[in-house]
């Protein structure tokens, strides 16, 4: 006899049914297996991860330092801070720049949580004037062989040279000489204030970074300059490096003070990334060049003038409008002397008005003078640099003024020549014109003059085919006279001349 044993379905797959006795054992096995899996996962992930390497960003300051350069530097510094960059290298080759832009960069360097290394490179580069201040403010100052720094005396680019020589100061006192002496004293006082302020600023940066304070005074007061080797010997810079790789090698283990905390630089195996300016920074760097902004303004003004003078040409108006808007954008960033801008606009207005006013060149000459003076004083800011480094180029001003004067003289010549030419259109050009009588029926005289048929009247009767001359014009009617009759009358009235 067969016997059947009923078994639990779960026991077929999972073993015997779970009872209260082995419940604790199963839970222990489960947590043990889970712990093993977690340990394996963590070990695999730790082996798969590579160690995080330090990163260094390199920025280039090439050319005069202006507002666009300061905006580019501060924006990149913020991005570096957010990206946890370990080191920021500022590669410098500049003749100087605007005082306001320089101070913005220095304030950002001092407040930076990232160590900043200023590196004057490549060979032949310079950190003159404003570049010297930035070099002093950086956490590490480095130079390549064959470079130089210094010449940090401030210059006011809008100031004009004193036309009086030293000999004039020794001349007898006159009211005019006294006034000029007062102006000279006032100018000297302003210069002293600027120099003292620049000296104190550079000395404070030298004391902050532990660099040569005495030479900072010489750089401001005597416009002193140093080569890379001399700067290292005098304690103005921290090191000399031939290239970027050599710089990173020499920075390894160097102690720097960042926000009152001492850090040790670790540059071994650092990843170097060159930060190029984006399209907006490039655009601002171009249009904020004073020479470019100056040309854009002139193109805009002349373009709109030609468009208003000859409506419908379209191209001058479009080009002029775009150029003028870009010039206004640049002027919003640049330190503009609005008195100089007003003089330029007044000068252009006078030169244009000369074409419509009978002033015999007086208005145009005044316009040229106002244009030149306004162009010279257009950029107005104190600069720790040579005045030609960021102002409007004097040769450019002279060239544009000379071109405008030549065009102005050519316009006057054409106007004078036009006034002397005979009239070739209108009613006046018909006076004296000769023609032919076509008909004279029923007291309706018609003549043919200048390839046109006209109604006419004459003080004497005329016959068809007779030559006539116009002596007056009234509305659309001509007054004519016979040419043959006048000639006959002249012959009759002339005296008889005997051959002897």
**pLDDT tens-digit readout, 164-176:** 334 444 444 455 5
Of 34-43, 115-124, 141-150, 458-467, give the lowest mean pLDDT range. 34-43
219 with 86, same domain: the answer is: yes
Q: Report the pLDDT averaged over residues 370-397.
A: 71
Q: Report the pLDDT averaged over residues 374-397.
A: 68
230 with 371, same domain: the answer is: no
**Which CATH number belongs to the domain containing residue 488 in this structure?**
2.40.50.140
pLDDT at 457: 85
- Higher-confidence residue of 360 and 186: namely 360
Assign 11 a pLDDT band (cuts: 50, 70, 90).
Answer: very low
Q: Tell me how far apart the alpha carbons of residues 499 and 480 are, in angstroms, rounded to a whole number.
A: 37
- Tell me if 345 is assigned to some domain: yes
pLDDT at 112: 94
206 with 258, same domain: the answer is: yes
Beta bridge partners of 59: 90
Give the Å distances, CA to CA, from 490 to 163, 483, 485, 494: 73, 11, 9, 6
pLDDT at 417: 74
Query: Residue 193: is its pLDDT beyond 70?
Result: yes
Radius of gyration over every alpha carbon of the chain, rounded to an integer in angstroms: 44
**Cβ pair 456, 478 in contact under 8 A:** yes
For the segment 308-328, what is each residue's pLDDT rounded down to a tens digit?
877 877 888 899 999 999 988
Query: Residue 180: is its pLDDT beyond 50?
Result: yes
- Tell me if 262 is assigned to some domain: yes
Question: Which residue has 């590579």 as its token pair?
Answer: 50
398 with 470, same domain: the answer is: no
Query: Residue 124: is its pLDDT beyond 80?
Result: yes
Q: Is 15 exposed, middle or buried (0-12, 13-18, 19+ CB in 10 A)?
A: exposed
Q: Is 344 exposed, middle or buried (0-12, 13-18, 19+ CB in 10 A)?
A: buried
- Higher-confidence residue of 312 and 38: namely 312
348 with 417, same domain: the answer is: yes
pLDDT at 156: 57
pLDDT at 408: 74
Instruction: Let me know if 11 is a catalytic residue.
Output: no
For the segment 222-258, what is each residue's pLDDT rounded down to a tens digit?
989 999 999 999 999 999 999 999 999 999 999 999 9
Q: Which two tokens stand for residue 108?
A: 């950002």
Q: Tell me how far apart the alpha carbons of residues 68 and 289 are, in angstroms, rounded to a whole number.
A: 9
- Higher-confidence residue of 207 and 332: namely 207
- Tell me if 406 is assigned to some domain: yes
- Higher-confidence residue of 472 and 387: namely 472
**List of long-range contacts for 302-309, beta carbons under 8 Å, 24+ apart:** 302/348, 305/352
Assign 144 a pLDDT band (cuts: 50, 70, 90).
Answer: very high
Question: Which residue has 């659309």 as its token pair?
Answer: 476
Question: Which residue has 């090439």 as its token pair?
Answer: 62
Structural domain count of the chain = 3
pLDDT at 450: 83
State which of 279, 313, 328 marks the end of a domain.
Answer: 279
Mean per-residue pLDDT of the chain? 79
- Tell me if 7 is assigned to some domain: no
- Higher-confidence residue of 190 and 300: namely 300
CA 411 to chain centre: 31
**Which CATH number belongs to the domain containing residue 201 in this structure?**
3.90.226.10
pLDDT at 488: 44
Query: Residue 354: is its pLDDT beyond 80?
Result: no
State which of 421, 443, 472 marks the end of a domain.
Answer: 421
Query: Which residue of the set 112, 129, 138, 375 is catalytic?
Result: 129
201 with 252, same domain: the answer is: yes
- Tell me if 300 is assigned to some domain: no
Q: Report the pLDDT averaged over residues 105-116.
A: 94
Assign 41 a pLDDT band (cuts: 50, 70, 90).
Answer: low
417 with 432, same domain: the answer is: no
- Tell me if 226 is assigned to some domain: yes
Q: Tell me how far apart the alpha carbons of residues 324 and 294 are, in angstroms, rounded to a whole number.
A: 10
Q: Report the pLDDT averaged over residues 6-30.
A: 53
438 with 475, same domain: the answer is: yes
pLDDT at 487: 47
| Domain boundaries, position 99 | 55-166+195-279
Q: Tell me how far apart the alpha carbons of residues 396 and 393 are, in angstroms, rounded to a whole number.
A: 5
Assign 93 a pLDDT band (cuts: 50, 70, 90).
Answer: very high
Q: Largest Cα–Cα distance of the chain, in whole Å?
A: 190
Question: Which residue has 């008889």 as its token pair?
Answer: 496
Of 34-48, 263-277, 292-306, 369-383, give the lowest mean pLDDT range. 34-48
State which of 279, 303, 320 marks the end of a domain.
Answer: 279
- Tell me if 411 is assigned to some domain: yes
- Tell me if 137 is assigned to some domain: yes
Instruction: Let me know if 193 is a catalytic residue.
Output: yes
201 with 259, same domain: the answer is: yes
Q: Which two tokens stand for residue 413?
A: 């010549």
Query: Residue 37: is its pLDDT beyond 90?
Result: no
pLDDT at 137: 95
**Cβ pair 62, 90 in contact under 8 A:** no
Of 86-95, 231-240, 433-442, give the lowest mean pLDDT range. 433-442
CA 101 to chain centre: 14
**Residues 6 or more apart from 236 whose CB is under 8 A from it?**
136, 141, 149, 211, 212, 215, 226
365 with 475, same domain: the answer is: no
pLDDT at 162: 41
Assign 204 a pLDDT band (cuts: 50, 70, 90).
Answer: very high
Q: Tell me how far apart the alpha carbons of residues 127 and 142 are, in angstroms, rounded to a whole number.
A: 11
Query: Which residue of the set 183, 193, 257, 444 is catalytic?
Result: 193
Q: Report the pLDDT averaged over residues 198-223.
A: 93
Nearest residue to 448 via CA among 431, 465, 428, 460: 465
243 with 371, same domain: the answer is: no
Of 17-26, 147-156, 382-391, 466-475, give the lowest mean pLDDT range. 382-391
Task: Find the angle CA(61)-CA(296)-CA(354) to the nearest 5 degrees.
Answer: 145
For the segment 462-481, what is each residue's pLDDT rounded down to a tens digit?
888 889 999 888 888 888 88
- Rounded to the nearest 10°, the torsion over CA 48, 50, 52, 58 is -130
Query: Residue 18: is its pLDDT beyond 60?
Result: no
Query: Residue 117: is its pLDDT beyond 80?
Result: yes
68 with 122, same domain: the answer is: yes
Query: Residue 381: is its pLDDT beyond 70?
Result: no
Query: Residue 15: is its pLDDT beyond 80?
Result: no
Task: Find the angle CA(85)-CA(87)-CA(90) to the nearest 5 degrees.
Answer: 120
Q: Report the pLDDT averaged over residues 328-355.
A: 83
């Amino acid at each position: 006899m067969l016997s059947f044993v009923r078994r639990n379905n779960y026991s077929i797959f999972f073993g015997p049914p779970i009872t209260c006795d082995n419940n604790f054992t199963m839970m222990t096995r489960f947590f043990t297996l889970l712990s093993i899996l977690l340990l394996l996962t963590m070990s695999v992930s730790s082996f798969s991860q590579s160690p995080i390497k330090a990163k260094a960003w390199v920025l280039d300051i090439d050319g005069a330092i202006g507002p666009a350069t300061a905006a580019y530097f501060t924006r990149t510094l913020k991005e570096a801070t957010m990206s946890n960059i370990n080191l920021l290298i500022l590669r410098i080759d500049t003749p100087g720049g605007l005082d306001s832009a320089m101070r913005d960069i220095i304030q950002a360097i001092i407040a930076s949580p990232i160590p900043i290394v200023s590196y004057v490179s490549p060979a032949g580069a310079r950190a003159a004037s404003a570049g010297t201040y930035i070099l002093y403010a950086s956490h590490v100052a480095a130079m390549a062989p064959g470079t130089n720094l210094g010449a940090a005396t401030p210059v006011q680019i809008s100031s004009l040279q004193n036309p009086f020589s030293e000999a004039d100061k020794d001349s007898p006192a006159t009211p005019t000489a006294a006034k000029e002496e007062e102006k000279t004293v006032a100018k000297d006082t302003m210069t002293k204030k600027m120099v003292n302020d620049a000296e104190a600023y550079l000395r404070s940066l030298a004391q902050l970074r532990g660099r040569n304070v005495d030479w900072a005074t010489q750089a401001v007061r005597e416009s002193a300059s140093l080569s890379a080797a001399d700067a290292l010997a005098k304690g103005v810079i921290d090191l000399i490096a031939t290239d970027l790789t050599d710089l990173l090698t020499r920075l390894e283990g160097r102690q720097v003070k960042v926000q009152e905390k001492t850090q040790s630089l670790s540059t071994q195996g650092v990843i170097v990334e060159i930060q190029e300016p984006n399209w907006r920074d490039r655009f601002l760097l171009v249009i904020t060049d004073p020479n470019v902004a100056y040309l854009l303004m002139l193109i805009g003004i002349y373009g709109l003038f030609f468009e208003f003078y000859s409506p419908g040409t379209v191209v001058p108006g479009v080009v002029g409008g775009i150029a003028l808007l870009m010039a206004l954008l640049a002027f919003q960033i640049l330190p503009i002397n609005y008195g100089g801008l007003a003089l330029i606009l007044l000068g252009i207005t006078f030169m244009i008005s000369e074409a419509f006013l009978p002033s015999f060149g007086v208005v145009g000459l005044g316009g040229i003078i106002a244009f030149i003076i306004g162009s010279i004083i257009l950029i107005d800011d104190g600069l720790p640099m040579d005045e030609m480094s960021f102002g409007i180029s004097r040769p450019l001003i002279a060239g544009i003024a000379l071109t405008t004067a030549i065009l102005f003289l050519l316009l006057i010549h054409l106007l004078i020549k036009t006034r002397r030419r005979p009239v070739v259109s209108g009613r006046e050009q018909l006076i004296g014109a000769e023609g032919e009588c076509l008909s004279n029926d029923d007291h309706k005289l018609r003549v043919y003059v200048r390839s046109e048929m006209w109604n006419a009247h004459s003080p004497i009767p005329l016959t068809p085919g007779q030559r006539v001359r116009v002596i007056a014009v009234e509305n659309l009617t001509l007054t004519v006279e016979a040419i043959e009759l006048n000639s006959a009358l002249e012959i009759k009235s002339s005296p008889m001349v005997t051959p002897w």
